[in-house]
């Protein structure tokens, strides 16, 4: 009797957790009841969801015998036989052919001819292994009555009940005979489109000797996306147009128990402002020095696994909004990963460059990913014609919640006006410099940061905005914007990430049709210097550069970014108004001018008149 009790223990402890999507726990035996009831209780976080459907198939039948355990009498199942409608012949053949139980003469079930002998193997130490028990249940599922066959499932339910307030919702299946039952879930809905848990189906076995209670536990594959910075992984960052953003997607090898085929596809969408670098994508299995790189397959025909190893392919595309879409598909995932321990990390990394289509300001540039995965061990599912590792439809797959990260960038707007009339001024030229900029456009040419350039090809940026080939010395270092950062001169205008030398008149069409307005677009947090290098005839050139500091307050959890700009007394948001004054009016001829001579002469003439009148009056007085 103890041996038969062990069958129950092995089945319930080893076969309940058959998939990465479902597990169950229950009492190994139960007290006698008037009916044989299977009560499937949903976990508390699923109480609000209706629409689960379960079938019960009898794998083993038997007779109940009482047994005393201390002062309690319990019922145990004995005289094991095959369940009604179960295809025992096919099942026995499958067990003997399954190398998971050993090959040839080493197969554990090679001498079995009936249910009792199979039960004897199940109670042996050789089957005291979770994976073997799970394989046993997977094979059993293949031989239960199919739709349209007689008998139909021994029991089924799609109605939930709650006996007492505070109890979990329960799906009850009544069956007419005791035995060991395979419970198959045929519907697993979401509460709504915003339900954070993906759909998953369960399958488990349990013994029924009265009332059997089981609580489902639903586990799902996950996918996490991060932006990788120098010392951290974040959900949001702020960069310049032209900067490279590095992404990391992390998942884990699922528990493949219960499956013969498994889909594992990553869908990724980059906003229009991000340019995908195809050569940068790397896939690794494991962590650290022991991580194994997967191999990129270019023909997508699922033939490489025959040679061993792990293969994937990438399908890039563009959606209706101009966003870049990526589909990363693992080939023959089940056979490639079945011998790799569950929960082993799967990591995908790649780079993208923030481009001139980037959204400026606090809306940000999102990058969103999700994982499409097999979620139904009860149905294998078909692949897309010509692409067997992409599911034909979503009937056997679930999708993880979408994980989004964002990259932000901003701009500085210069409003150039006449100091007196406040009228817009065109034709004024400015230079923007800053250590965060990737390229600088000056009258001398286009210069791009390049840390590898050396010798005569290396240029250094001076604080006045010009470039020199001469490296800094102790005497000249204070004239350099940086004594270590080098630039390469180029004629390739496609590498311009930030124009640092711009004419306001040349951008009027881009700035809401307003003359005298200039935008330096695509800036990260940092300190920038605005220098006026040419102004309109008749106006004084600003002699002092203006320093603007941009700060980015990033909330990575909320994925928001608030930019602030200083000096606050000169900035209104990200706009700075710069005034030009006209020069002093000078005489139209040389010297001190004819008007002064005229005024001076008139003064002398008036003075002479006064002197003569005074002198004549004095003479008359003397007479």
- Mean pLDDT to the nearest integer, 508-525: 59
The domain boundary residue, chosen from 367, 401, 435: 401
Q: What is the pLDDT of residue 192?
A: 52
Cβ proximity of 472 and 414 under 8 Å = no
Same domain, 366 and 433: no
Same domain, 286 and 308: yes
Where are any strands of DSSP class E within 253-360?
A: 264-270, 274-285, 292-293, 295-296, 311-318, 324-330, 345-354
Q: What is the pLDDT of residue 430?
A: 78
Q: How far is the C-alpha of 484 from the C-alpha of 482, rounded, in Å?
A: 6
Of the candidate ranges 22-26, 165-169, 548-552, the one whose mean pLDDT is the lowest? 22-26
**Helix crossing, 130-141 with 88-97: angle to 10°?**
140
Same domain, 175 and 64: yes
CATH code of residue 530: 2.60.40.10
Q: What is the pLDDT of residues 449-460, one digit of tens each?
A: 776 788 888 999
What is the rounded average pLDDT for all residues in the chain?
A: 78
Domain assignment present for residue 505? The answer is: yes
Helical spans, DSSP H, in 107-199: 115-122, 130-141
- Per-residue pLDDT for 5 more than 50? no
Domain assignment present for residue 509? The answer is: yes
Q: What is the pLDDT of residues 139-153, one digit of tens each?
A: 888 898 876 777 778
Residue carrying the six token digits 């102004």: 535
The domain boundary residue, chosen from 190, 217, 244: 217
Same domain, 616 and 473: no
Give the confidence band of 565 by pLDDT, cuts at 50, 70, 90.
very high
Same domain, 230 and 181: no
Same domain, 289 and 381: yes
Domain assignment present for residue 8? The answer is: yes
- Per-residue pLDDT for 27 more than 70? no
- Tokens representing 446 are 């286009």
Domain assignment present for residue 21? The answer is: yes
The domain boundary residue, chosen from 373, 401, 429: 401
- Per-residue pLDDT for 67 more than 60? yes
- Per-residue pLDDT for 499 more than 50? no
Same domain, 379 and 234: yes
Of the candidate ranges 3-7, 191-195, 447-451, 547-551, the one whose mean pLDDT is the lowest? 3-7
Same domain, 195 and 228: no
- Mean pLDDT to the nearest integer, 48-68: 82
Domain assignment present for residue 178? The answer is: yes
- Per-residue pLDDT for 335 more than 80? yes
Give the confidence band of 516 by pLDDT, cuts at 50, 70, 90.
low
Give the confidence band of 18 by pLDDT, cuts at 50, 70, 90.
very low
Same domain, 213 and 232: no
- Tokens representing 520 are 């330096």
Q: Is 575 exposed, middle or buried (0-12, 13-18, 19+ CB in 10 A)?
A: middle
Domain assignment present for residue 6? The answer is: yes
Maximum CA extent, the chain: 169
Same domain, 308 and 355: yes
Same domain, 186 and 251: no
- Per-residue pLDDT for 504 more than 70? no
Same domain, 72 and 130: yes
Domain assignment present for residue 585? The answer is: no
How many separate domains does the chain show?
4
Give the confidence band of 438 by pLDDT, cuts at 50, 70, 90.
low
Provide the domain limits for residue 135. Answer: 2-217
């Amino acid at each position: 009797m103890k041996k038969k009790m062990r069958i129950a223990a092995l089945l319930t402890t080893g076969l309940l957790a058959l998939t990465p999507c479902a597990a169950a726990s229950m009492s190994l035996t139960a007290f006698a009841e008037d009916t044989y009831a299977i009560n499937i209780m949903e976990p508390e976080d699923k109480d609000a969801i209706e629409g689960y459907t379960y079938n019960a198939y009898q794998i083993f039948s038997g007779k109940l015998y009482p047994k005393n355990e201390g002062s309690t009498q319990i019922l145990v199942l004995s005289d094991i036989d095959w369940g009604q409608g179960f295809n025992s012949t096919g099942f026995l053949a499958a067990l003997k052919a399954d190398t998971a139980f050993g090959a040839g003469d080493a197969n554990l079930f090679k001498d079995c001819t009936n249910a009792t002998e199979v039960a004897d193997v199940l109670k042996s130490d050789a089957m005291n292994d979770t994976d073997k028990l799970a394989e046993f249940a997977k094979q059993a599922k293949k031989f239960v009555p199919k739709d349209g066959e007689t008998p139909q499932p021994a029991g089924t339910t799609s109605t939930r009940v709650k006996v007492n307030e505070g109890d979990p919702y329960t799906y009850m299946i009544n069956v007419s005979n005791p035995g060991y039952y395979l419970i198959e879930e045929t519907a697993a809905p979401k509460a709504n489109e915003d339900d954070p848990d993906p759909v998953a189906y369960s399958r488990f076995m349990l013994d029924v000797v009265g009332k059997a209670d089981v609580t489902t536990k639903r586990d799902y594959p996950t996918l996490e996306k991060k932006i990788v910075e120098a010392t951290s992984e974040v959900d949001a960052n702020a960069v310049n147009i032209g900067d490279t953003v590095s992404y990391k997607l992390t998942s884990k090898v699922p528990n493949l128990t219960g499956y013969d085929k498994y889909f594992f596809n990553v869908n990724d969408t980059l906003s229009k402002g991000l340019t995908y670098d195809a050569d940068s994508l790397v896939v690794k299995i494991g962590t650290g020095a022991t991580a194994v790189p997967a191999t990129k397959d270019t023909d997508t025909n699922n033939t490489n696994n025959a040679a061993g190893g792990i293969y994937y392919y990438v399908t890039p595309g563009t959606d209706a909004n101009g966003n870049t879409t990526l589909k990363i598909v693992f080939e023959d995932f089940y056979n490639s990963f079945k011998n790799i321990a569950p929960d082993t990390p799967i990591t995908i990394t790649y780079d993208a460059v923030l481009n001139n289509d980037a959204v400026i300001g606090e809306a940000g540039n999102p990058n969103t990913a999700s994982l499409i995965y097999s979620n139904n061990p009860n149905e294998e599912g078909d692949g897309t014609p010509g692409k067997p590792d992409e599911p034909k439809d979503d009937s056997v797959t679930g999708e993880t919640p979408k994980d989004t990260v964002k990259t932000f960038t901003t701009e500085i707007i210069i409003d150039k006006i006449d100091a007196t009339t406040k009228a817009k001024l065109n034709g004024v030229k400015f230079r923007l410099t800053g250590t965060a900029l990737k390229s600088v456009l000056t009258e001398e040419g286009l210069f791009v940061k390049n840390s590898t350039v050396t010798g005569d090809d290396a240029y250094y940026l001076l604080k006045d905005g010009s470039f020199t080939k001469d490296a800094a010395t102790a005497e000249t270092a204070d004239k350099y914007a940086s004594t270590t950062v080098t630039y390469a001169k180029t004629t390739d205008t496609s590498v311009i990430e930030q124009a640092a030398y711009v004419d306001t008149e040349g951008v009027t069409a881009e700035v809401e049709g307003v003359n005298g307005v200039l935008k330096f677009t695509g800036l990260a947090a940092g300190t920038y210097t605005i220098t006026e290098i040419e102004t309109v005839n008749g106006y004084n050139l600003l002699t002092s550069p203006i320093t603007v500091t941009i700060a980015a307050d990033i909330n990575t959890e909320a994925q928001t970014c608030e930019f602030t700009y200083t000096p606050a007394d000169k900035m209104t948001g990200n706009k700075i108004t710069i005034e030009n004054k006209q020069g002093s009016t000078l005489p139209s001829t040389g010297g001190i001018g004819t008007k002064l001579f005229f005024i001076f002469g008139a003064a002398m003439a008036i003075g002479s008149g006064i002197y003569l009148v005074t002198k004549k009056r004095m003479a008359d007085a003397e007479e």
